[in-house]
Amino acid sequence: MLAETLRGPLVDACGGRLTDLQWFRADWQRSGAATGRGRWRLDCGDERDVIVKLPVGPRELYWTRRLQRDARTLPPTVAQLLASGRALGPYDLGWMVIEALPVGPLGLHWEDTHVARVADAATRFHTETAQFEVDPTLVAREDWHDTLDRARQTLRDNDIADGQHWQQMHKRVGRALDDLVAAWRNRPLQHWVHGDLHLANALCRTDDPAAPVILIDLAEVRPGHWVEDAVYLERQLWTRSARLAMAPVKTMWSARKTHGLPVDQDDHRLADVRRLLMASTATAFLRTEGHPRHLAACLEQAQAALKRLGLD
């Protein structure tokens, strides 16, 4: 294991402050990154629990460093960074040591306050990143025409429940796809978005039900529009309709108004465009999104979005 071979260089890079390092792999972790738990010795001699992560991509390291702030005056949006670097021993790889957040991820246990608290954290993230100029060349360019083609082909090649309804929905989306893609690509690029906003990336420092949520895993931060984060969060709740009572898009809309960030009435239509693009192409990703319950929820969401957009 590469991480274990780098234990010595990592301890040296941390000036001997890092001890009791143990590597683990979380159930929700999909990347090849190594994650470890350890102890960190502070200047005063006290120790605290920390998380070690390597390798860390340049984007995640960049934004984690960039968003450090004085937690004594404002609630933190990202975890406190205790040490980091862009190389370790003979290897050119990023690494970091951050505070271990004792509560969460929120995805392990559902509470009705989760959506509001994560929406507030995302809005604080949007507020803090607004001071940094957006680089439009870094916008994610999704090929929705190719994705819809793959979704149709997968539907033809597999026995998927409600196949006829999927076919009908794909036809309607196909007829409107140029306009849908144009509407999405012409969205205002107002700020940076988290890009991977889900409950497994939301933790807290205390178990107070009102404690501010802290966001981790900043590897997908990119220029975009706030509805990207809102719909991404909402999408993970599509199979649990009861959890959508606190609608993520409406909740984040309200949070943005509370924080003094701009909103527009067209944002709700833009959210439907995003929902439709994502839900209608779910069959293209059977390996990761092929659970029958999830596909049924995507079909329902796509049909509802088609109706609200006047495309049914």
pTM of the model: 0.93
List the structure tokens of 16. Answer: 């001997």
Amino acid letter, residue 4? E
CATH topology of domain 107-308: Aminoglycoside 3'-phosphotransferase; Chain: A, domain 2 (3.90.1200)
pLDDT of amino acid 73: 60
pLDDT of amino acid 27: 56
Intrachain domains 2-100 and 107-308 with the same fold: no
CATH of 2-100, one of 3.30.360.10, 3.40.190.10, 3.30.200.20, 3.40.50.10710: 3.30.200.20
Angle (deg, nearest 10), helices 163-185 and 266-280: 140
Structural domain spans, the chain: 2-100, 107-308
pLDDT of amino acid 18: 97
User: Which stretches in the chain have pLDDT values below 70?
Assistant: 1, 26-32, 71-73
Separation CA 78–CA 99 (nearest Å): 10
List % helix, strand, coil for the chain (3-state, nearest 5): 45, 15, 35
Separation CA 70–CA 10 (nearest Å): 26
- Sequence-distant (6+) residues with CB within 8 A of 229 are 122, 126, 193, 194, 195, 197, 252
CA separation, residue 162 to residues 21, 149, 168, 278 (Å)? 50, 18, 10, 18
Task: Please state, rounded to an integer, the average pLDDT across all residues of the chain.
Answer: 93
β-pairing verdict for 222-224 and 191-193? antiparallel
Separation CA 56–CA 93 (nearest Å): 7
